[in-house]
């Protein structure tokens, strides 16, 4: 029986993934892989070679196809919507382009406070209707007991893209605004919080069972700066999400863990820089944990992959509430058989 949009069926509620998010006992450790629909899969490349990346994101039929293919091929316990963090910035007034070999480029970034006035709040989330249409198509065709995850970028990561105009090693412009132009920073972050909240809630209404917030760039901050300039806005965003649990994923700096927990979320998403047992002890055992094998391990032989996966599982010690994942996304050059093998290993070794 197919799920009605915006509703949780018994099969989904009692799925391995959703029970684990609630820290209820499950038969084995659930696993999904960040960037599981990606260039390492031949099936993905076959679709991607026919269109540009942004066309793939904006074609609901193709976004649904690659999402469903990845879940089926890998045998993972959740699908994650194929989309990108940045297209939400287009209706907010930024000129976004995906350049071959360069990645995303924003041609009119918000370099300083004088630019903030042209950054528009996303008041009508229907401007991203292609995302919700993809969600509906995916949910329609997913197995009845496989949840669909939606996602967005966290306010700091999105603000950094908007200010820097692309990737950065030092985040000079972002930090300069954060430190020196507090009113502009507050306006930017509050605008992002409201816009991203509407976007996530619309994904949930369309058929997502949980959502992940990616703070991929927050690791550049000290713990004090994260607590003062970023955490309040991430918390506001998480608190605004209705009807589905939030996975709060932050990478790059284990010193931020206690503040990451304070920002909220049903699940703390962890990168590979701290052992799982230590991280869980840091945030407290009354919250679920996701992670945290180094993605580069997948370049090793299968025996090494098994050893490293077991180390992560041993860190969880069989405690309910552990979702196995990599500490970041799977890399394009990866052997897909190693990813498939990892999923099987986790299901085998994580049996409870």
Mean pLDDT (whole number) for 183-205: 98
pLDDT of residue 245: 98
Q: Which of 35, 139, 173, 306 does the annotation list as catalytic?
A: 35
Rounded to two decimals, the pTM is 0.96
**Does residue 320 surpass a pLDDT of 90?**
yes
**Does residue 4 surpass a pLDDT of 50?**
no
Q: What percent of the chain has pLDDT over 90?
A: 94
Q: Can you list the alpha helix ranges (DSSP code H) found in 59-164? A: 60-74, 129-141, 155-164
Per residue in 43-54, pLDDT (tens digit) is 999 999 999 999
CB 167 within 8 A of CB 103: yes
Mean pLDDT (whole number) for 304-308: 98
- Verify whether residue 48 is a known catalytic residue: yes
Q: How far apart are CA 279 and CA 315, in angstroms?
A: 10
Residue 75, token pair as written in the block:
């045998």
pLDDT of residue 99: 86
pLDDT of residue 73: 98
pLDDT of residue 103: 85
- Verify whether residue 39 is a known catalytic residue: yes
Q: Return the closest-CA partner of residue 284 out of 263, 268, 302, 308.
A: 268
Per residue in 198-243, pLDDT (tens digit) is 999 999 999 999 999 999 999 999 999 999 999 999 999 999 999 9
Residue 135, token pair as written in the block:
């969600």
**Burial class (CB within 10 angstroms; exposed 0-12, middle 13-18, buried 19+) of 345:** buried
3-class secondary structure per residue, 291-327: CCECHHHHHCCHHHHHHHHHHHHHHHCCCCCEEECEC
> What is the DSSP code (8-state) at residue 120?
-
Q: Which of 23, 48, 173, 198 does the annotation list as catalytic?
A: 48
Q: How many CA atoms lie within 13 A of 73 on its CB side?
A: 19
Q: How far apart are CA 234 and CA 192, in angstroms?
A: 10
- Verify whether residue 84 is a known catalytic residue: yes
Per residue in 281-303, pLDDT (tens digit) is 999 999 999 999 999 999 999 99
All structural domains of the chain: 10-349 (3.20.20.210)
Per residue in 125-168, pLDDT (tens digit) is 999 999 999 999 999 999 999 999 999 999 999 999 999 999 89
Q: Which of 77, 84, 215, 271 does the annotation list as catalytic?
A: 84
**Does residue 275 surpass a pLDDT of 80?**
yes
């Amino acid at each position: 029986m197919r799920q009605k949009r915006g509703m949780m069926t018994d099969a989904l509620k009692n799925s391995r993934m959703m029970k684990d998010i609630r820290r209820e006992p499950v038969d084995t450790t659930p696993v999904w892989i960040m960037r599981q629909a990606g260039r390492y899969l031949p099936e993905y490349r076959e679709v991607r070679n026919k269109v540009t990346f942004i066309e793939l994101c904006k074609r609901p039929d193709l976004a649904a196809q690659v999402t469903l293919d990845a879940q089926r091929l890998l045998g993972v316990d959740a699908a994650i919507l194929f989309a990108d963090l940045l297209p939400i910035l287009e209706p907010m007034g930024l000129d976004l382009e995906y350049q071959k070999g360069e990645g995303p480029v924003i041609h009119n970034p918000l370099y300083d406070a004088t630019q903030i006035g042209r950054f528009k709040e996303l008041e009508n989330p229907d401007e991203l209707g292609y995302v919700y249409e993809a969600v509906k198509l995916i949910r329609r065709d997913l197995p009845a007991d496989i949840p669909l995850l939606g996602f967005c970028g966290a306010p700091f990561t999105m603000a950094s893209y908007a200010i820097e105009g692309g990737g950065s090693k030092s985040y000079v412009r972002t930090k300069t605004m954060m430190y020196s132009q507090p009113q502009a920073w507050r306006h930017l972050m509050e605008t992002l919080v409201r816009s991203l909240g509407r976007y996530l809630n619309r994904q949930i209404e369309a058929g997502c069972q949980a959502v992940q917030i990616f703070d991929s760039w927050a690791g550049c901050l000290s713990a004090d700066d994260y607590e003062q300039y970023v955490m309040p806005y991430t918390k506001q965003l998480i608190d605004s999400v209705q009807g589905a649990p939030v996975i709060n994923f932050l990478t790059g700096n284990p010193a931020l863990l206690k503040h990451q927990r304070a920002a909220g979320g049903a699940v703390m998403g962890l990168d590979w820089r701290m052992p799982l047992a230590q991280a869980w002890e840091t945030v407290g055992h009354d919250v679920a944990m996701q992670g945290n094998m180094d993605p580069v391990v997948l370049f090793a032989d299968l025996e090494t992959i098994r050893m490293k996966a077991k180390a992560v599982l041993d860190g969880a010690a069989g405690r309910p509430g552990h979702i196995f994942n990599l500490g970041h996304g799977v890399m394009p050059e990866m052997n897909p058989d190693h990813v498939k093998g990892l999923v099987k290993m986790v299901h085998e070794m994580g049996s409870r």
